[in-house]
Amino acid sequence: MADIHSNFLGIKSPNPFWLSSGPPTDKKINVIRALEAGWGGVVWKTLGTQIKNVSSRYSSLHFNGRKIAGFNNIELISDRPLELNLLEIREVLRLFPDRAMVVSLMTDNNKESWHEVVKKTQDTGAHGIELNFSCPHGMVERSMGAAVGQDPEIARMVVEWVMEVAEIPVITKLTPNVHSVVPVGRAVVEAGSNGISLINTIQSVTGIDLDTLVPNPNVGGSSAFGGYCGPAVKPIALKFLTTLVQDEVTKSAPISGIGGITTWKDAVEFFLLGASNVQVCTAAMLNGFRIINDLCEGLGNWMDDKGYKTLDEIIGLSVPKMTKWEKLDINFHIVANINHDRCIHCGLCYITCEDTSHQSVEMEQSVPYNTYKIKEEECVGCNLCKIVCPINGCITMLERRKGDEYINWLEYQKRGLPLNDH
């Protein structure tokens, strides 16, 4: 049987699934319910300067009949007293000594404030600290949250302050609200951060109520940019994760992957692209804590099926397969193929290819339904017909190489080969 125990920066947990900093980890009653359900650990909701949250706080994006393709919130850090949170952290640690307890922190941008909150957190017996350099809304006026994570030198300075007093592992949580996470990632690693977590939420407006004309969520007739999360942000999270794993400086730091993880398959994708463990929030908020059973069972079964014994064996396996566009093989070519036994004759492949792509699908009008076939000489292998086809396995892609030799775009240009051959 596969062993899914996790060891992240020396912080051990029975599985690699932590609840990330957010509403599910705001107080003892929630955290106990989560750990009783089987979660490997939690990142306690961000502690720091006392704040006041607003009402309402959440909104969502519905798409094509699917509820909650994306989720949005304008909630800030914990609005409960610092000392109460610290007391409850101690109590949870006593009840669940085998689970990971990491505490998220975000405070005023001066050394004294950071030293004070780090020391108080360490006194609870917590296993690690996560520095919130990533909250995308609010607190900016105090030079906190994403305001820190968007400036490499400020981020470096704060990490250096923290490392002066830190006696437990420090994880720095990065914001995706930047062109590239690499400069800030390098800065925090060079300053001594033991690990990195990403991504936090993305600034967003999920929609507008067309009756009141107020963007969501509505707070007394007004709204504000919120933090976007949920399934829709996973591709962005995977991109940012990969850029850090491929960088010469940041690849030395273990990474806790966050962003749109809903199923065990999502988690495996994060592991394959270099995450050492993963954090989940939105999926738990929308489905409850019991999803941990499916996450653990699915991961373990997949590892058994593939012959992997430990998590370390799968971490980063897909990273070498991610390259730059100019290094891709131009001679590799595929074409679509329609399985007529599975085709339901909806015509989507023909409509989309004819209207928006390469006119590679031929329609033969007949009774009782039209039939379709691929014009291989015109097909560029773009995958559009396969993507829109509603029947799994009806359209597949077949390899039809243009030549035996591997050749990328840089070599193609260097040789001065004709462009119209491909």
Catalytic residues: 135
Could you tell me where the DSSP H helices lie in 110-208?
Answer: 111-122, 146-149, 152-165, 182-190
**Angle between the 82-95 and 28-37 helix axes, to the nearest 10 degrees?**
20
Q: How many Å apart are CA 396 and CA 239, to the nearest integer? A: 26
In this structure, are residues 61 and 72 in contact, taking their beta carbons and an 8 Å threshold? Answer: yes
Distances, alpha carbon 78 to alpha carbons 271, 285, 345, 420, in Å: 30, 16, 54, 60
- Which residue's structure tokens are 């309402």? 56
Structure tokens at 315: 């971490």
Beta strands in 246-303 (DSSP E): 255-258, 277-280
Q: Which residues have C-beta within 8 Å of that of residue 239, sequence separation ≥ 6?
A: none
Say how many CA atoms lie within 13 Å of 82 toward its Cβ. 16
Q: 3-class SS at 356?
A: helix
CA pair distance 232, 262, nearest whole angstrom: 11
